[in-house]
Chain A
């Protein structure tokens, strides 16, 4: 036992002390936070951070109601001719001239927007929306609806999706928020298992090619060496994961406080810390959610998701899935003499993981309670990814327990299976390993 601890310690320290680990660990949250800061910056300030002043020349006799200025656009009704204003535009305080000719209210046309620079799509859209509103209001009033009723009509609709939780309590939820979390968790799980599983394989190959293996196993049992390596690297993964969470949280908080006023910041931090970590893909979704969606609602839901539970379950499935796969990776590493030979063995190990990944992010996010989602999250080959993807949508307790139990049995199985191949493989040199050969090794007596 003491020897396993020594091995774990070496495997852990030798990796954590590496420059690449330190750089990866500290740089990734910085990049994420930087990215995040940009998104927040733009979503708060808006793409147009300056106000456009627009001179409106209204020659329309029916459309007498004025356009209302807002944060980004100031409408200034002027009483000049279009032509004279056009000539003096560059010297005037106006950015654009909006020309509304006297058109028939049923077929509005001939409206022009002229500026010193090309008007952007969003400005264009905002102005045409405003004019459409004016026309609609005019028509409605004509058909006898009072101004008071009109004001009443304008209401912003936000659907507050809720679900009844296990406890029977209503919880705020949002499909958007759940999907964000699900994607981030799924991508991270896949990446972690791959990354650290391959590290185990590399470590085994390194010991084999550097020929230290024989010195090692005259001191320790092959099983101890294999488990020491697997556990040591698992701890490296956990360290990185936790550091990422902590760092991303604090750096994001810092970034946010630079860009956003204190009151807004509180909301932002709450959401940023929860969807921190992750890939460009996830970031885009995040960005989309922040830009399009009823942002406030997503944030509220994020605050209502049990982040503690999600992180705990994530760590469990990371460890379980990692143990499950890394044992197989260790067996592959033991069977080959160099990394180039690993290809043919990697495929069958990668396939279920890739399949689980692809299905989880498509089928499962679409239908998190369907039977495919259920089976994917029960079978240990795919459950680590499928389950963390399902989790934000809510998973019945018994399914979680069943899935976890099967995963534990699963990794004990793969560790046992891998250990039997490993103990023979690490001492085999120059022999081209095949699946047939590995089956033979499996049955060797000690």
Chain B
């Protein structure tokens, strides 16, 4: 539904985006990852039409991005705020009217969402009387209220306690199940693994990695396993594997190893079964966190 094609954005003396292209599929949750200053915000600002690219284009639902698309996109920036002196209900109403909703419809939806997210009594409260987490709920509602097809969330969970983070996460999944596409910009890799279907990794203004989370993780498998066993035996000079890490744990021992070329995990089991009692065996798949760090460090 959203294609970013060869975007270049140059600021006075640094290039924020250098030939970045990516595809966001309809109904998926897309993770936009990258270290601070990589260019994520610049890219989001182009998609939300806050700024325009120097070259390249953005295609939204088959059409070149234009001002009619503003109402179909919801954006929750990382640097987000509200008018401090305004009442909550009035404020959300104002923001959603700016997105093209009429008063009656907007009021109905605000009431619905306030009810749903335990904010029923907040309508007449002022923003300055709310905690940061509470303000964030308000901002989240303001972002999704006009039923956008594409919702862009920049660090949506920062500042939430676990209960509310979970509440919001479930709302995201629910909306996603109804067909809303999400772009998710974050540093928190556990939420990426939990939520994202696809990701793109941007570093130093360039895209350095993209694809589905499963594929990327699969491609980073490197025949590493971890086995837990009970019993005494020395496997340190095995011809099947190299030991990466050996630790004593409560239930016995834990051994992390990498298979040598041409061997399978069955060979390892064949070696160990006669010697010790095996409690647990798993393949060690690198987390998105590891992949992120590895790629960005390079």
Contacts and interface: CB of A to CB of B under 8 A. Distances in A.
A and B together in one complex: yes
Nearest to A446: B52
A219 interface: yes
A215 to B, nearest CB: 6
Interface string B72-92: 010111011111111000000
A440 B79 CA distance: 24
Given A14-B86, A219-B98, A220-B98, A446 B81 contact: no
Given A14-B85, A440-B12, A446-B52, A214 B94 contact: no
A445 B54 contact: yes
A210 interface: yes
Nearest to B13: A440
B98 A212 contact: no
Given A10-B94, A215-B142, A219-B99, A210 B83 contact: yes
A207 B70 CA distance: 20
Contact of B94 (A6, A211, A217, A429): A6
B172 to A, nearest CB: 18
Nearest to B152: A218
B268 interface: no
B185 interface: no
Interface string A49-62: 00000000000000
Contact of A218 (B54, B70, B82): B70
Interface in B63-115: 70, 73, 75-77, 79-86, 94-95, 97-99
A6 B97 contact: yes
B181 interface: no
B98 A427 contact: no
A154 to B, nearest CB: 68
B84 A219 contact: no
B52 A215 contact: no
B85 A219 contact: no
Max count, chain A CB within 10 A of own CB: residue among B49, B79, B99: B79
Contacts of A211: 77, 79-81
A80 interface: no
Contacts of B45: 427
A53 B142 CA distance: 81
Interface in B168-213: none
B82 A446 contact: no
A214 B99 contact: no
A215 B80 contact: yes
A contact residues, range? 20 to 34
A86 interface: no
B222 interface: no
B86 A215 contact: no
A109 interface: no
B224 interface: no
Given A6-B97, A14-B86, A445-B52, A218 B73 contact: yes
A215 B95 contact: yes
Contacts of B51: 427, 446
Contacts of A209: 81
Interface in A142-183: none
Contacts of A210: 81-84
Contacts of B142: 215
B97 A215 contact: no
A429 B79 contact: yes
Nearest to B98: A219
Contacts of B52: 445-446
B48 interface: yes
B233 interface: no
A206 B54 CA distance: 30
- For the complex of A and B, 7 pairs with smallest distance between CB atoms: A211-B81, A210-B81, A214-B77, A212-B81, A218-B75, A219-B98, A446-B52
Given A206-B83, A214-B77, A214-B79, 17 more contacts: A6-B98, A207-B83, A209-B81, A211-B81, A212-B82, A214-B80, A215-B82, A215-B95, A215-B142, A216-B98, A218-B48, A218-B70, A218-B73, A218-B75, A219-B99, A429-B79, A440-B12
